[in-house]
Structure 1
Amino acid sequence: MERRETGGARSRGARLPAAIAGLLATGIVLTGCGASGDGGTADRSTKESRPTAPALPDGGRGGTAHPEGGERRPPSPAPDYLSTFALDVDTASYGYARRSLAEGRLPDPATVRPEEFVNSFRPNYARPADDGFGVTLDGARTGRDGWSLVRVGLATRGADRSGERPPAALTFVVDVSGSMDEPGRLDLVKESLGLLVGELRDDDSIALVTFDSEAEARLPMTRLGEARNRIRDVVDSLATGASTNVEAGVRTGYDVAVEGHREGATNRVVLLSDALANTGSTEAETILARIGEERREYGITLFGVGVGSEFGDAFMERLADRGDGQTTYVSNAAQARKVFVDQLPAHVELRARDAKAQVAFDRRTVERFRLIGYENREVADEDFRNDRVDGGEIGAGHTVTALYAVRTRPGATGPVATATVRWLDPATRAPRERSGTVATGALTADIWGSGHDSLQLTAIAAYFADVLRGGSLPGTPALGTLARHADAIAERSGSAVVRELAESVRRAEALRGPAADPSEPGGTGEGELRPGDPYS
């Protein structure tokens, strides 16, 4: 889908609805410039401000969040100043790019999705006390003719550490085809599952399906309290076979998940594969139909975990999108531990269903805007409050970031954007909304100035991804400059994942060679979780 740069009328045709469930762990980061909203202490004086109203009551100095639920809706602006998308916390694109760069090759531009680079780092956005969203907006100038970056940050309350979450019913669908014999594929999957068995609760359940040219149910839905050793024995016995029939694996996986469906539990299929389908339906259509059917009838979501130096990224993403799920990518034991030990057990609890965001820009202050990424998550503006249109499934402790390049009108002051997130309550399915705003007063600082580490990190990831896929965002620094900014953040924060980002940028700069345009940025990859790392 073509990227949009909006300033006047634009197409209002149907967009691709997407459903993304998150499993990323929260982290503590330095807050970005601009003002943010708190889920419980918002300045309600701006709650009813029109998107096209004059300056905010605080003089337009920053953003506020609106924590109240219910159906109170801010008036809508002209439709050509709306941006609507389903929430997304996928990270597979980021992880696969990092592995490609480490192996000395640039990632295929078709596999680079900026929102997945951005969402691989988790800012310290305000979190609500309830099961909704905290909404934070901030921004800064980029140093190019009237252009700024505006960041929309959404965050859910963390996992309940008291163990009160619903039980999980997880059906693992494991690729054991010949291509999984490469180091870092099936061996890593087996290690990951072994780790997970030790982390889940006794009342959680696991089923296991394997596939190569055919699929086999190796373990029915089984409660861990009854059979941890049995499950480990089945995992240890996995060995590679023939060709890759993803269709058979997913079909059998959903059969097992439906048979073992648990009312009141989080029911999920977890597909672990290099997604290099070469037998059965390799075009995904019949698989997508089955996934969509079981999602609607039983609420079974799909989580895709990619492995391998060659990875069917687009194929895996389509499967996860249809299954109201997400994708991630692991290439080593540390990343596997991050996903299966630190994230998956804690984030089986949903905070929101079918979550969408709509950002309304004020035509009196905004001349043009462009959402960076999310092309295949776009939703028709008129479907924002159509709850039959899929959005993202968002779990406990997740953050979602959307970054916009915005050109403001010379000398204009006042509101810039109002962001509203809408979702269905996981238990009652009642619709709820919250909003936040940002004004010109929050965009006066230079993004590369001091005190803006969080927003800088978001910008580095977005610029880097955009150039890897051949884009040309206004205000993009050179690759070397991006690497230096990342190095400085890493030095101040002690963050290992930011150091790895800086190294990936430098690798991309070297691979692009001296012929590369020095005004363009580089690339990025999935960072490992390190204890105390403020950006993981």
Structure 2
Amino acid sequence: DDSMSLASAQRVLYALKRHVPLKTSEIRPHELLNYFSFDTAEPAPGRVFSVLGGAEQDGETLTVSLAVKGATPEREPLDLTLLVDRSCSMGAEGRMDYTRRGLQLMTEQLQDGDRLDLVLFDSDVCTPVQNFVVGRDDPSVLNDALARMRPNTGTNLDAGLQTAYGIQTGRDAAEVHGRNRRVLLITDALLNEGRVQESLVAQVGKNLEEHDIRLSGVGVGREFNDKMLDKLTENGKGAYVYLGSEAVVDRVFGPGFDALTRTVAHDVHFALDLPDSLAMERFYGEEASTNKADVQPIHYFAGTTQLFLQDLRVRPGGVVRNDPITMRIEYTDAITGEPEVQELRTTVGALLDGDPHNLRKGQALMAFSDIVLAQSMGGGGCGAPLQAYRQRSGAVPGDAEITYVNGLVGDLCHVEMTTVVTRGVQLKLKLDSDQPIASVDLRCGGQHTTQRLTAADQIARFEDITPGMCTVELQGNLPITAEVEVPESGGDLRCMVRGGRVSCT
């Protein structure tokens, strides 16, 4: 997903803080890896991207995190058309208040030479400000127009988009050369007039893209049309964020405004070249495929970060530290329009020696998303998913953002989260069996770990196991299960299988 696709993560946090139900369709776990902060490296001079990696091995799985950061080059003058919904629904929940606050803060981020238009739409469309140039025109003209915005009647988003599109495309080539052209739509997208079909409205975003005019979207209100705005900004190749609190407003339109309105790379494809010793098992992003055409390209915004988190299957023979791993990034330069390629090379050993903080934080956030998804589907998130999250979050001590999430989870599940589960213990399980055992499954709380065995080695070795009662399942002629207690200090257990019966001590 685009590096400034943040709306789902922002909406999840808003809903949990205010005890608002969430629809499963509104939860996109990978956006948490866009929204939360991670350790990064600064891109080298002349480079658009940097990557900071880490890895940890758990049995036959190697989990790898790659934190990608986009550069922040000198910015071009901005041609920005503000398209603001002033329908009656914008009067609810402080939506218009958030909008005014954000746009007034935005004026402080503008630079001399930036050009602005203000288009307001309800049942009708009006343009109180057009061709306003920062540093040339009286600031009170823009500020007064923003202060006078008030909710009115119905919602004709299509008419508003057509007007904004007409203003941007009405300028000749000399006027727009070397400028960052963008429409910023602020709406709850609760359509009730005009061309309300989502496919038709999304087509407007495509038209904007064809004229090299990007469209970013800001959703406001508890009930805003997420599907509509997601589709519109996807086709408009722009950012998509959600305003749910004054703090988020201040972040988006304050220090985050540059990222909201500026891309550094278009049509980006990330490819991970793995050695023969590793194979992709699970990718925690939106899309992954061995066929490039099956993965939609994304757009990267100035100074933003994405965490790429994946579980890799270690093939027989084990991890080879010297094996190379390459991230290949193909993109179109946002300023020159030229195709570019950047490759970042490392080794399995270098990743294993890296700081695991990003990886563990990403795992904690994915466990958090499992809680939220389970709750949205009718409950169950406060059972096994909670236990898994407690362990994952316990592996990220001192992280203020995870501490905040702990508070949300504790409130949701009515549990005390000030003390979280610490990292687990090592367990060695020795088998003495009268039948071949191919693998051992160990289930402890929300954990599920499998170790394959060989005829020569009938010892299963587990890392990071939560102490307490666990279930062992031995894959013999038929699955054989037993309950075992993992000591607080870890250690060794012995399971004997005779005549279909099992005992573990």
TM-score by shorter chain over 0.5: yes
Offset at 1:432? 1.7
**Greater relative contact order (Cα < 8 A, sep 6+):** 1
In the alignment, the residues of structure 1 paired with residue 394 and residue 126 of structure 2 have an alpha-carbon distance, to the nearest angstrom, of: 48
Offset at 1:506? 2.6
Give yes or no for contact 2:258–2:302 (8 Å, CA) kept in 1. no
Give yes or no for contact 1:193–1:235 (8 Å, CA) kept in 2. yes
RMSD: 3.1
Q: Which residue of 1 aligns with 2:56?
A: 140
Q: Which residue of 1 aligns with 2:312?
A: 406
Give yes or no for contact 2:388–2:447 (8 Å, CA) kept in 1. no
Q: Which residue of 1 aligns with 2:195?
A: 281
In the alignment, the residues of structure 2 paired with residue 120 and residue 483 of structure 1 have an alpha-carbon distance, to the nearest angstrom, of: 21
Offset at 1:274? 1.5
1:519 to 429, 437, 446: 446
In the alignment, the residues of structure 2 paired with residue 379 and residue 219 of structure 1 have an alpha-carbon distance, to the nearest angstrom, of: 46
1:153 to 64, 67, 71: 67
SS at match of 1:137: strand
> TM-score, with normalisation over the residues of structure 1?
0.69
> Counterpart of 1:188 in structure 2: which amino acid?
Y
* Residue 309, structure 1, aligned to residue 222, structure 2: yes
Unaligned runs of 5+ in 1: 1-17, 21-87, 512-516, 522-536
Distance of aligned partners of 1:427 and 1:368 in 2 relative to their CA distance in 1, 3 Å threshold:
closer
Offset at 1:230? 0.7
* Residue 207, structure 1, aligned to residue 207, structure 2: no
1:102 to 9, 17, 41: 17
SS at match of 1:469: helix
Offset at 1:502? 2.0
> Counterpart of 2:297 in structure 1: which amino acid?
G
Offset at 1:296? 1.6
In the alignment, the residues of structure 2 paired with residue 222 and residue 182 of structure 1 have an alpha-carbon distance, to the nearest angstrom, of: 30
Give yes or no for contact 2:309–2:359 (8 Å, CA) kept in 1. no
SS at match of 1:153: strand
Unaligned runs of 5+ in 2: 378-382, 416-443, 449-505
In the alignment, the residues of structure 1 paired with residue 114 and residue 122 of structure 2 have an alpha-carbon distance, to the nearest angstrom, of: 27
> Counterpart of 2:386 in structure 1: which amino acid?
L
Q: Which residue of 1 aligns with 2:336?
A: 428
Give yes or no for contact 2:280–2:310 (8 Å, CA) kept in 1. no
In the alignment, the residues of structure 2 paired with residue 419 and residue 205 of structure 1 have an alpha-carbon distance, to the nearest angstrom, of: 38
Q: Which residue of 2 aligns with 1:373?
A: 285
Offset at 1:430? 2.3
SS at match of 1:329: strand
Moved more, 127-136 or 91-100: 127-136
Percent identity for Structure 1 against Structure 2: 24
Give yes or no for contact 1:137–1:437 (8 Å, CA) kept in 2. no
Offset at 1:368? 4.5
Distance of aligned partners of 1:190 and 1:100 in 2 relative to their CA distance in 1, 3 Å threshold:
same
Distance of aligned partners of 1:440 and 1:221 in 2 relative to their CA distance in 1, 3 Å threshold:
same
* Residue 325, structure 1, aligned to residue 238, structure 2: yes
Structure 1 residues 472-483: aligned runs within 5 Å: 478-480=385-387, 482-483=389-390
* Residue 115, structure 1, aligned to residue 30, structure 2: yes
* Residue 506, structure 1, aligned to residue 433, structure 2: no
* Residue 171, structure 1, aligned to residue 171, structure 2: no
Offset at 1:270? 0.6
> Counterpart of 1:241 in structure 2: which amino acid?
N
In the alignment, the residues of structure 2 paired with residue 466 and residue 254 of structure 1 have an alpha-carbon distance, to the nearest angstrom, of: 40
Moved more, 328-337 or 273-282: 273-282
2:267 to 354, 359, 366: 354
Q: Which residue of 1 aligns with 2:473?
A: none
Give yes or no for contact 2:208–2:215 (8 Å, CA) kept in 1. no
1:191 to 73, 83, 101: 101
Offset at 1:132? 1.8
In the alignment, the residues of structure 2 paired with residue 504 and residue 421 of structure 1 have an alpha-carbon distance, to the nearest angstrom, of: 36
Give yes or no for contact 1:146–1:409 (8 Å, CA) kept in 2. yes
In the alignment, the residues of structure 1 paired with residue 317 and residue 21 of structure 2 have an alpha-carbon distance, to the nearest angstrom, of: 42
SS at match of 2:328: strand
2:252 to 339, 345, 350: 339
Give a deviation string over 1:457-486, Cα, whole Å, max 9, x none. Answer: 122122322453359xxxx98425535754
1:242 to 153, 163, 172: 153
In the alignment, the residues of structure 2 paired with residue 280 and residue 518 of structure 1 have an alpha-carbon distance, to the nearest angstrom, of: 52
Offset at 1:155? 1.4
Q: Which residue of 1 aligns with 2:44?
A: 128
SS at match of 2:152: coil
Distance of aligned partners of 1:365 and 1:498 in 2 relative to their CA distance in 1, 3 Å threshold:
same
Q: Which residue of 1 aligns with 2:503?
A: none
SS at match of 1:151: strand
Q: Which residue of 2 aligns with 1:6?
A: none
Offset at 1:409? 2.1
> Counterpart of 2:291 in structure 1: which amino acid?
D
Offset at 1:110? 0.9
SS at match of 1:351: strand
